[in-house]
Chain A
Amino acid sequence: GDSVTQTEGLVTVTEGLPVKLNCTYQTTYLTIAFFWYVQYLNEAPQVLLKSSTDNKRTEHQGFHATLHKSSSSFHLQKSSAQLSDSALYYCALSGTEGADRLTFGKGTQLIIQP
């Protein structure tokens, strides 16, 4: 089956320093869509980034990610962390045909410290 593996558990970064959250995957889908969802405390998940094009950088709200099919990765990065970036981040993938389920990773808790 399909699987998504994220940086496990908790990542702590000092404000102003770069952030990188890892996401790798295994899939049998021929065409795929990738997502990063962010979930702030006591809120619903919301989409942060989406991509389905190999080797194309996608950016939103200062975050960026590039889908690399050669290495089966879709890492999330930001050059300078802000306190407001503290949240739970999920990487997710789905096929793009039919009614395939969205497969989530287990999530990475990002804490930005002053």
Chain B
Amino acid sequence: NTKITQSPRYLILGRANKSLECEQHLGHNAMYWYKQSAEKPPELMFLYNLKQLIRNETVPSRFIPECPDSSKLLLHISAVDPEDSAVYFCASSPTGVSGNTLYFGEGSRLIVV
């Protein structure tokens, strides 16, 4: 799926700061960050609709999302913890109203050492 691109695809961090980037070319209004830990389903972290944050799940404060425009999404991570090791998926949907199909990006695999 090249219509939702994420970078970097892989990163290995100590207790450092890093930002994940996502861009979608589907013309969707809603964008999401999901975290998928090993052998678990994706878990919603944040949902933006038309650049407004409308869902903010129980996520550690070291994760800060940013939506500079409706096609781009960033996730700033500060002082990562080993429990943050996971794949972070960006996703989009036509609107932020529930019931829409989610389209996922390729994911960014974070390994915390």
Binding site for B on A (CB under 8 A): 31-33, 35, 37, 43-47, 50, 52, 90, 92, 94-102, 104-107
Q: Please, how many angstroms separate the alpha-carbon atoms of A100 and B41 in the complex?
A: 17
Contact check, A96 vs B98: say whether CB atoms are below 8 A apart.
yes
The tally of CB-CB contacts under 8 A between chains A and B is: 62
What count of chain B residues pass the 8 Å CB interface test? 22
State how many angstroms separate the Cβ of B49 from the closest Cβ of chain A. Answer: 7
Contact check, B102 vs A102: say whether CB atoms are below 8 A apart.
yes
Given contacts A94-B98, A99-B97, A105-B41, 8 further A-B contacts (CB under 8 A): A37-B102, A45-B89, A45-B104, A50-B101, A97-B99, A98-B97, A101-B57, A107-B40
Q: Please, how many angstroms separate the alpha-carbon atoms of A99 and B96 in the complex?
A: 6
Contact check, A104 vs B41: say whether CB atoms are below 8 A apart.
yes
**Is B107 positioned at the interface, with any CB of A under 8 Å from its CB?**
yes
- What are 28 inter-chain pairs, A to B, with CB distance below 8 A? A35-B101, A43-B106, A44-B105, A44-B107, A45-B42, A45-B89, A45-B104, A46-B103, A46-B104, A47-B101, A47-B102, A50-B101, A95-B98, A96-B97, A97-B97, A98-B98, A99-B47, A99-B55, A99-B97, A99-B98, A100-B98, A100-B99, A101-B57, A101-B98, A102-B44, A102-B98, A102-B102, A107-B40
Interface of A is mostly: loop
**Is B61 positioned at the interface, with any CB of A under 8 Å from its CB?**
no
